Amino acid sequence: MAIEITSEDIFTPEKLKSHFKIYAGPGAGKTHFLVENVKNIVTQNSAIVESRSRKVLCVTYTNAAVDEIKKRLDKFTDCVDVCTIHGFIIEHIIQPFQQDLISLMESDFGISVRAKGKITSQIEGLGILHGIDKNEIYEYVKKLNPSEFSSDVFDYSKKAMGEIQTDNNSFADSVIKGETRQVKLKAPSKIAECHIIPLKQYVWSVVRKLTHDEVLYFGYRILETNPTALYAIRVKFPFIFVDEFQDTNPIQTLLIKLIGQRSTIVGVIGDIAQSIYSFQGARPTDFGTFSIEGQRPIEEYVINRNRRSTANIVNLCNFLRQSDNKVKQVSKRAYNSEDEKAKAEAKKIHFLIGSSQNVQGIIQAVIQDGGVVLTRAWAAAFDYIRDIDDEQSELLKSIYSSYRPSPIQLRDEIVEHNNVTWVRAFRFIFMLWEGYLNGSFIDILRSLQLYGSIDPQKITPKVIYQIGKISKDIFSTIGDDTCTVSIIEAFNSKIKEQEYIDLRKAVFDDDFEIPLFDEYDDSRRDLINGLHWGTSHKLFTEVFSEDSKYMTVHQAKGLEWDKVIVSVTPNKFDKIKLSALFSRPQLIDETPSDEFTRMYYVACSRAKEDLYIHIKTGCSSDTIETAIASFVAQTKMQIAYEIVS
């Protein structure tokens, strides 16, 4: 039985002698608990205070979470290392133990790699072969394996070649079950068996990059085979806290367990009901069954308080997670006054059934009032944005689907990175356009800097005039149904004309043009060509912006808003209908239907005061009323709601 605690509790030195596991739902104050206990350890615990080299390690799931914890730790960060699991492995295992890495490549996979430079991780959001000439890869493999080389069977895309990597699932399963180690590479079916090893040798030897899965594999294998490396980690980090543990995959769990078998105290914090990353290997049951072999026991705690949401929202979330007996949340939201509390707690849950004008009007009013729409896939957001026709909406959904099997997160690319070729081209043309419309020369220069270095001394009045002239020429005939690609192509055509020679020399090369596509875009080129100016501009400025009102559930994890509209619809792979979700919600198992329920739960739990659940089809009001009435009768947890159709 887990011991109930609050997010304000500070663990005593006695409690910190044992590993611990904390069950904590949304809004429980997990980050607050983590930060305050870390501060206490680095100022009071002798293992840290009496050493200049020892630190507390905090591992969390995203870079955004890393930044948030660092911000809250403030002046205490010198004694704490906050990072993602990949960041931890790269910095503390892969980089300092390069020779072990190279030896394991040889012993595990028969691939010989010379020690001629650091091997590190692939760049976030880019294919591992990004920027590599495919002919160079062919020549390398041909030299290694001339008898098997044939140009008619070696026509692989860089995307396919980059997907060759360690088979972490098979390896982890074999370790967990105590069976013969399954050490192998996995590759797309189109890659011939005889080419797998040579291609992987090229990546490790020449590109010298590891995929994200390979970082995990070799991180674990180095610690497993090198006692000195494992000892060094344990000495440096006497305490390891892992936040969002439900999102870790089996090989990450094996690595944490290995470190915790001696000396280091491990604390894991998580919530089975928020495990929504099965596509990355996460298994919700791994959190519930987590234990560490060794002399230390693992103590279990639970935080049942919810400091985020009103009682109605908390109880609806309890309704969705009723199959989980570990956590039963109670709203403990703070209010500035009794009047504010009364107004907030009086707000009902709103079930919006169907797509009538009344329902659509309510949704648009909520969005205008600062509400956020949470959907299953980002393209579904266009069902809620005005002035986007059905054909363009379907086009966006197809583009979204084309990125599913790739490591590229398109929203991150558009908001932050601009690494994808067509994304950078679109970003450039929109920035140039907005600078032209607003008369902002600074914005125009920022757009040009996406492709060239700007020397202020070369920006003469003549160059400024040419920037204005080319902008007027290409933007004067834009309509919402003009294709964005055609405007970029118009720029490429214009910039080559003689009258813009000064602009070319000041910013670009003589033969410069904005690149639109690369090999990774072959399968989606026609789709992107069909995007209208109005559609793609909304994509970049409304959906994929830092203050977007439209997000997927996965992007929203860890965030919160006063008003939330949940529009999450199951597909055929989820093997569930909304009527079944409400009739008998199940979320603790590793089935597709359970994961869909967890996704629904996460979406609803983002709301602080106003929760609107939009059900277009698939569930009647009678089903909802019957299910909630039964839950209230059994638990005495009151849920005030209304149904609008």
Binding-site entries for ATP: 24-31
The rounded distance, in Å, linking the Cα atoms of 11 and 570 is: 42
The rounded distance, in Å, linking the Cα atoms of 582 and 630 is: 11
Please answer whether residues 157 and 231 qualify as being in contact, where contact means their C-beta atoms are separated by less than 8 angstroms.
no
C-alpha of 355 from chain center? 30
DSSP assignment letter at 532: B
Query: In this structure, how many other beta carbons lie within 10 angstroms of the beta carbon of residue 144?
Result: 15
Please answer whether residues 410 and 400 qualify as being in contact, where contact means their C-beta atoms are separated by less than 8 angstroms.
yes
Any bridge partners for residue 552, and if so which?
375
Helix (H, G, I), strand (E, B) or coil at 137: helix
Please answer whether residues 222 and 94 qualify as being in contact, where contact means their C-beta atoms are separated by less than 8 angstroms.
yes
The rounded distance, in Å, linking the Cα atoms of 153 and 158 is: 14
* Span between the terminal Cα atoms of the chain, in Å: 44
The rounded distance, in Å, linking the Cα atoms of 352 and 389 is: 23
The rounded distance, in Å, linking the Cα atoms of 638 and 632 is: 6
Burial of residue 167 (CB within 10 Å: 0-12, 13-18, 19+) is middle
Nearby residues of 169 by Cβ (< 8 Å), 6 or more positions away: 250, 281
DSSP assignment letter at 347: P
| Closest to 11 (Cα-Cα) out of 267, 307, 291 | 267
The rounded distance, in Å, linking the Cα atoms of 375 and 377 is: 6
Q: How far is CA 282 from CA 278, 286, 539, 589, in A?
A: 5, 8, 30, 12
Any bridge partners for residue 561, and if so which?
607
71 membership: H or E segment, kind and range: helix 63-73
The rounded distance, in Å, linking the Cα atoms of 610 and 615 is: 16
Any bridge partners for residue 507, and if so which?
none
| Closest to 325 (Cα-Cα) out of 357, 293, 300 | 300
Reported for 290-293, long-range contacts at CB under 8 A and 24+ positions apart, including other chains, are 290/21, 290/245, 290/253, 290/257, 292/19, 292/257, 292/260, 292/261, 292/266, 293/257, 293/261
Dihedral over Cα of 373, 378, 382, 383: its sign: negative
Please answer whether residues 307 and 276 qualify as being in contact, where contact means their C-beta atoms are separated by less than 8 angstroms.
no
Query: In degrees rounded to 5, what are phi and psi of residue 397?
Result: -65, -35
Q: Which two tokens stand for residue 367?
A: 């969005």
Residue positions forming the annotated binding site: 24-31
Instruction: Report which residue type is found at 587.
Output: L
The rounded distance, in Å, linking the Cα atoms of 242 and 256 is: 9
Q: Which two tokens stand for residue 528?
A: 């992107």
| Closest to 405 (Cα-Cα) out of 602, 190, 208, 131 | 190
